[in-house]
Chain A
Amino acid sequence: MKDLNTQENVVDTENVKIVARNVQVYYGDNHAIKDVNVEIEANTVTAFIGPSGCGKSTFLRCINRMNDTIDICRVEGDILIDGEDIYDRRVDPVQLRAKVGMVFQKPNPFPKSIFDNVAYGPRIHGLAQNKADLNIIVESALRRAAIWEEVKDRLDAPGTGLSGGQQQRLCIARAIATEPEVLLMDEPCSALDPIATAQVEELIDELRENYAVVIVTHSMQQAARVSQKTAFFHLGNLVEYGETAAIFTNPTDPRTESYITGRIG
């Protein structure tokens, strides 16, 4: 197979943030990710596309070791962030997750105030010296998540009372408040209406300035709109990886072409 034909597409090796080598993931006996190799760049939005159940979420969750919370899940191979193996025994997965933020499919604000939602990570990790410091961190996270103007007058209101799109941007603010270097997003717009989706997409494009963003998406239009790189997964294999424009206009693998033209669902 041409699963490994990706190397030539990675132009700028200086800028590589995440490297995956021969990654295998098993859920019990189910071999969910099969020998995936990929290099993800900093200051880039990378989209993972592919049919349902092909392992996009599973691979994404390897990058911040969220799979550790699933008993039956086993990960093999190496994943390096800035050259450091995150599956090394010396790495504390809890510390790692502060560095690799995650936004989930369904907005999941905690049943706390808007302020406390955003302050959650900074408080746990002791990022603020004092209350004033914390206020600054929360405000800047909310600003970067483009939701400050909407919530600045009701920071004490419960986060669960916001609309779906606002909740998702709150979750993004919550993730960036811990100063991560990588932001993982698992179908962040699938529970949102078109207007909220547009707002979040715009936000993702801005986040690229500071982070390596990896986004799983079901919508190929969305991948085309927000990402610079695209990876196509099929049945646990990484079939094709490269510049988004190239993948969508000129796919090399017939499976990618079938998916893009709508023949694999």
Chain B
Amino acid sequence: MGTTTIVILVILALTVLAYSVARNRALAGAGGDRRKLHSLPTYYGTNAAMFTGVPALGVLVIWLLAQPMMIESAVVKLIPDSVIAEGSSVGLVMSDVRRVANGLDIVIRSGGMTREAALALDTTTTDVRAALAAVGVALGSDVKPKVLSAAQAHRQQSSSGRVWMIGITLALALIGFAISVAISKPDFRARNTVERGILALLILAASLAVLTTVGIVFSMLFESINFFRLHPWTDFFFGPKWAPNFRGNSDLSILPLLWGTLYISAIALAVAVPIGLFAAIYLSEYAGAKVRSAAKPLIEILAGIPTIVYGLFALLTVGPMLVNIFGRGEDGLLGVEWMSGATAVLTAGLVMGIMLIPFVSSLSDDIINAVPQSLRDGSYGLGATQSETIRQVVLPAALPGIVGAILLAASRAIGETMIVVLGAGAIAKFSGNPLEAMTTITTRIVSQLTGDTDFASPETLVAFALGLTLFVLTLGLNIIALVIVRKYREQYD
């Protein structure tokens, strides 16, 4: 068991102990009469547990995250430029340092060397590489003296850091324990402190969620900036061609990819919007309770199918079927030779449309149901039939919401990856022919980042610029859609 695990267990044990001690102390203070307590006994216990566990564990987590970073930056200063070989970098030397430090740790733990001996180690007298190889730590080359001393400093700082960490966290737990037990008297407002503790917990969770989002956006932003340092932004946004070339000098324009993305999304929407909307109208206005209770879950199952399965469906079923109709010359259904491969804009668009049907239908269903019954009554009361009522009253009333739903579906379509990876093909071009293979932004992100990649070349970094553009695009659509839907909701509240 590592020392960290033991520390955590000790803190948890103290926490549990604090709970019962504080609870009993409060009860005892009230002479066993819980009515004399300000709060319920469990609140005193929870309060004490909170004070004992939370600060100690919090400091522990921060310490574990911060210590390696601080040691790293201190040790880097010990490495002079001379040690860094031609074609190498500080990063590579540092990873050697870490490996040696780790090896020394293992040697000491396995009893091969005393702590003092490890600190006194000298490359001129000992073959450090052989000594470490004996305990299973393989090094690429002989250990340079500077690297060894850096590794020794690294090892020493980490172990003294760990001692400090154990001391401080346990001290915090004990102080929390002592204070919280001491204040657990009957008139202490434990209930209120626990309430504040819960509030803090909730705020922490919310801010973590927000911070990760911000973090993701910023990391994409920084990588994109790196990309635009290496590649002209005019080519990215306005260039004519997408032709990555790993020897450099690539044409990396988003426009052909954007064209493919929008074309496929448009076909998908042309499939999903009418079908989804009509299904929603039937289910919400015409179907009886029995049909509705059977059909709605079935449609929602469609929404639960992983998109990779849709991708397979596109590649193995829809694509060949379309080839059968539009291709294969005399053998085909139409006797034409328009389509040569299963991957095509139409294949991906159709399957993506199927994927979006439940999305459009369940959103539209909600929106149609939100149209007040009083409007329908008003129309029926004037002698309108059901379809007149739907066409002239319900749909116009629901229109803004439905537009919002369609925009949300469009943003799903633009960001969809697996279906286009498998169904659309890999050729970046401007073409209006839906039977040709084309490619999208998402598929290019996947292909630029798979395989042997060097994260410093524009051919790889372009993935981040593509991702950021995609993100801005879908975010914009989502915001517009949400604004429209919210406006619509307000209208009938």
Contacts of B377 in A (CB 8 A): 66, 69, 102, 104, 108
Interface residues on A, range: 20 to 34
Give the docked Cα–Cα distance between A108 and B382 (Å): 12
Give the docked Cα–Cα distance between A109 and B397 (Å): 11
Contacts of B491 in A (CB 8 A): 111, 160
Q: Is A125 an interface residue (CB 8 A)?
A: yes
How distant is B401 from chain A, measured CB to nearest CB, in Å?
12
Q: Is B28 an interface residue (CB 8 A)?
A: no
Q: Is A178 an interface residue (CB 8 A)?
A: yes
Give the docked Cα–Cα distance between A66 and B379 (Å): 11
Given contacts A108-B374, A110-B393, A111-B396, contact A94 B384 (CB under 8 A): yes
Docked-complex contact B383 and A124, CB < 8 angstroms: yes
Q: Is B372 an interface residue (CB 8 A)?
A: yes
Contacts of A125 in B (CB 8 A): 383
B-contact bits for A86-128, CB 8 A (1 contact / 0 none)? 0000000011111101101010111110000000110011000
How distant is B224 from chain A, measured CB to nearest CB, in Å?
44
Contacts of A98 in B (CB 8 A): 382-383
Contacts of A66 in B (CB 8 A): 377, 380-381
Contacts of B381 in A (CB 8 A): 64, 66, 97, 101-102, 104, 175
Q: Is A174 an interface residue (CB 8 A)?
A: yes
Give the docked Cα–Cα distance between A178 and B289 (Å): 33
Do most interface residues of chain B lie in helix, strand or loop, or is the interface mixed?
helix
Scan residues 364-390 of chain B and give those whose CB is less than 8 A from a CB of chain A: 372, 374-385, 388
Contacts of B383 in A (CB 8 A): 94-99, 121, 124-125, 178
Docked-complex contact A121 and B396, CB < 8 angstroms: no
Q: Is A145 an interface residue (CB 8 A)?
A: no
A-contact bits for B467-493, CB 8 A (1 contact / 0 none)? 000000000000000000000000100
Docked-complex contact B379 and A120, CB < 8 angstroms: yes
CB contact between B378 and one of A71, A99, A171 (< 8 Å): that residue: A171
Tally B residues with Cβ within 8 Å of A: 21
Give the docked Cα–Cα distance between A175 and B383 (Å): 10
Q: Is B207 an interface residue (CB 8 A)?
A: no
Contacts of B379 in A (CB 8 A): 110, 120
Scan residues 152-183 of chain B and give those whose CB is less than 8 A from a CB of chain A: none
Give the docked Cα–Cα distance between A178 and B372 (Å): 23
Contacts of B378 in A (CB 8 A): 104, 108-110, 171, 174
Q: Is B317 an interface residue (CB 8 A)?
A: no
Contacts of A102 in B (CB 8 A): 377, 381
Contacts of A71 in B (CB 8 A): 288-289
Q: Is B219 an interface residue (CB 8 A)?
A: no
Contacts of B393 in A (CB 8 A): 110-111
Q: Is B392 an interface residue (CB 8 A)?
A: yes
How distant is A127 from chain B, measured CB to nearest CB, in Å?
11
How distant is B287 from chain A, measured CB to nearest CB, in Å?
12
Give the docked Cα–Cα distance between A102 and B376 (Å): 12
Contacts of A99 in B (CB 8 A): 383
Docked-complex contact B374 and A106, CB < 8 angstroms: yes
Contacts of A112 in B (CB 8 A): 396
Given contacts A111-B397, A112-B396, contact A124 B374 (CB under 8 A): no
Docked-complex contact A94 and B385, CB < 8 angstroms: yes
Contacts of B372 in A (CB 8 A): 108
- Among residues of B, the one whose C-beta sits closest to the C-beta of A160 is B491
How distant is B299 from chain A, measured CB to nearest CB, in Å?
22
How distant is A243 from chain B, measured CB to nearest CB, in Å?
29
Contacts of A96 in B (CB 8 A): 383
Docked-complex contact A124 and B384, CB < 8 angstroms: yes
Contacts of A178 in B (CB 8 A): 382-383
Docked-complex contact B374 and A121, CB < 8 angstroms: no
- Among residues of B, the one whose C-beta sits closest to the C-beta of A96 is B383
Give the docked Cα–Cα distance between A111 and B376 (Å): 12
How distant is A208 from chain B, measured CB to nearest CB, in Å?
20
Give the docked Cα–Cα distance between A110 and B378 (Å): 8
Docked-complex contact B382 and A124, CB < 8 angstroms: yes
- Among residues of A, the one whose C-beta sits closest to the C-beta of B397 is A111
How distant is B9 from chain A, measured CB to nearest CB, in Å?
62
Contacts of A171 in B (CB 8 A): 378
Give the docked Cα–Cα distance between A149 and B383 (Å): 27
Docked-complex contact B388 and A108, CB < 8 angstroms: no
A-contact bits for B41-58, CB 8 A (1 contact / 0 none)? 000000000000000000
Docked-complex contact B397 and A110, CB < 8 angstroms: yes
How distant is B288 from chain A, measured CB to nearest CB, in Å?
8
Give the docked Cα–Cα distance between A64 and B380 (Å): 10
B-contact bits for A52-68, CB 8 A (1 contact / 0 none)? 00000000000010100
Give the docked Cα–Cα distance between A120 and B379 (Å): 8
How distant is B356 from chain A, measured CB to nearest CB, in Å?
27
Contacts of A175 in B (CB 8 A): 381-382
Contacts of A104 in B (CB 8 A): 374, 377-378, 381
Scan residues 155-191 of chain A and give those whose CB is less than 8 A from a CB of chain B: 160, 171, 174-175, 178
Contacts of A110 in B (CB 8 A): 375, 378-379, 392-393, 396-397
Docked-complex contact A121 and B375, CB < 8 angstroms: no
Give the docked Cα–Cα distance between A99 and B382 (Å): 8
Docked-complex contact A97 and B396, CB < 8 angstroms: no
How distant is B481 from chain A, measured CB to nearest CB, in Å?
20
Give the docked Cα–Cα distance between A66 and B380 (Å): 8
How distant is A75 from chain B, measured CB to nearest CB, in Å?
16
Contacts of B388 in A (CB 8 A): 124
Contacts of B374 in A (CB 8 A): 104, 106, 108
How distant is B308 from chain A, measured CB to nearest CB, in Å?
42
Give the docked Cα–Cα distance between A111 and B396 (Å): 7
- Among residues of B, the one whose C-beta sits closest to the C-beta of A112 is B396
- Among residues of A, the one whose C-beta sits closest to the C-beta of B380 is A69
How distant is A94 from chain B, measured CB to nearest CB, in Å?
5
Give the docked Cα–Cα distance between A66 and B397 (Å): 22
29 interchain pairs (CB within 8 A)? A64-B381, A66-B380, A69-B376, A69-B380, A71-B288, A71-B289, A94-B385, A97-B380, A99-B383, A101-B381, A101-B382, A104-B374, A104-B378, A104-B381, A106-B374, A108-B372, A108-B378, A110-B375, A110-B378, A110-B392, A111-B375, A120-B392, A124-B382, A124-B384, A124-B392, A171-B378, A174-B378, A174-B382, A175-B382
Query: What are the 4 tightest A-B residue pairs by CB atom distance, in nearest-first order?
Result: A98-B383, A102-B381, A108-B374, A97-B383
Instruction: For the A-B complex with A94-B384, A108-B374, A120-B384 known, give 11 more contacts whose Cβ atoms are closer than 8 Å.
Output: A66-B380, A69-B376, A69-B377, A97-B381, A97-B382, A98-B382, A109-B378, A111-B375, A120-B382, A121-B382, A124-B384
